[in-house]
Amino acid sequence: MRRAVVSLLVALSLLTPCLAAPEVAAPSCLLMDRATGTVLYEKDADRRLAPASVTKIMTLLLVMEAIDSGQLTWDETVMASANAAGKGGSQVYLAENEHMTVRDMVKCVVVASANDCAAALAERVAGSESAFVDRMNDKAAELGMVNTHFENCTGLDDEAPADRHYTTSRDIAIMSRALLAHDGIREFTTIWMDTIRNGTFGLTNTNKLVRFYPDATGLKTGFTQAAGYCMSATAERDGMELIAAVMHCGSSTERFNSARELLEYGFANYTLVDPAADVVLEPVTVELGTAETVQAVPRDSEPVLLEKTAAAGCEREISLPSQVEAPVEAGQVLGTLTLRQGDTILAEVPLVAETGVERLGFGARMVRFLRYLWMAE
């Protein structure tokens, strides 16, 4: 077996000193790495609280699933029912029987937290808002959101008392992560200002971080008297995307400052390491094959989340045979790439054959043997 150890290169940013645990004013909060789902910080994160319009993360998740499955299309129009048009709170003032495209309705929910559009989309997906809410609770259970129960698709207090409509910072982060797995939603989550109705009605994002925090990628704010100021804030820096869930803040400023503090703590202290990044693999000799070599490539390399100070001590170990015998199938495991920190294995990535190599037939082997003898003379 041929073995080689390759030091993991560390960017200069890894040398910055770690921050102490953040002092977050939010009564309940949680910081999660989106790629791995790892919780980086939490404070009273399982306390059941009213989520206000952060509820709409689950509404949007079910809408995105309907779009991805083909049940909905972006360009089809949805008609506003009397129920949808009658929603209070944040809205775009849909008139009963008014038609609007799915794309514009989703934009209104994401950017302006429009309750009327959320209800119209819910009715289109499930037939009624109540049936849609049942699906919301089913999805919450599927995602492991054990401290969540929904009574409506908007989070309005007058329709959903806090003792029956609640979630937690942990569960907000979980459903935010699920929503961000649908790339289509990202078309809307970073919009600061836009319009609908042919430019006659303006929208401004309720998430001020989209305007004032350079790395922001979304996601959703909420406020009611029962819930206080809540949000799920997402941001990406140096290839790492974080989710900061904050609940029951006393003011909008406290909400945004708490989210920003969590995000900065995460970016300053953690990094994602790709075990296969910058690895150069030499071809493996194939005995009796129609090709003389086969290229090994990493299979399913998932990022590893590490503290920045720990990442500096990591090593990559490559284990590959010097040769294999034909036939070789595409995807056949040839060796292993191991990411280590001292004696601790952080990740193991199979190294597989990029292409298949067939075995030479008897006649071809004889020709190759005679050529070898002729070359040796």
For residue 189, give the nearest of 209, 212, 161, 175 by alpha carbon. Answer: 209
Can 107 be counted among the known catalytic residues?
no
In the set 28, 90, 113, 176, the catalytic residue is 113
Helices in the chain by DSSP H: which ranges?
Answer: 56-69, 82-85, 102-112, 115-126, 129-142, 169-180, 186-189, 209-212, 252-269, 308-311, 362-376
In the set 56, 107, 139, 308, the catalytic residue is 56
How far apart CA 140 and CA 124 sit, in angstroms, is: 20
Can 53 be counted among the known catalytic residues?
yes
User: In sequence order, what are the beta bridge partners of 374?
Assistant: none
Question: Which runs of E-coded beta strand occur in the chain?
Answer: 2-7, 28-33, 39-43, 77-79, 99-101, 193-196, 201-204, 216-224, 228-237, 240-249, 270-273, 284-287, 293-294, 296-298, 304-307, 314-320, 323-325, 333-341, 344-353
For residue 54, give the nearest of 152, 146, 120, 143 by alpha carbon. Answer: 152
How far apart CA 246 and CA 315 sit, in angstroms, is: 36
In the set 28, 53, 90, 176, the catalytic residue is 53
Quick check: 114 and 91 in contact, CB under 8 A? yes
How far apart CA 203 and CA 334 sit, in angstroms, is: 55
Can 56 be counted among the known catalytic residues?
yes
> Active-site positions?
53, 56, 113
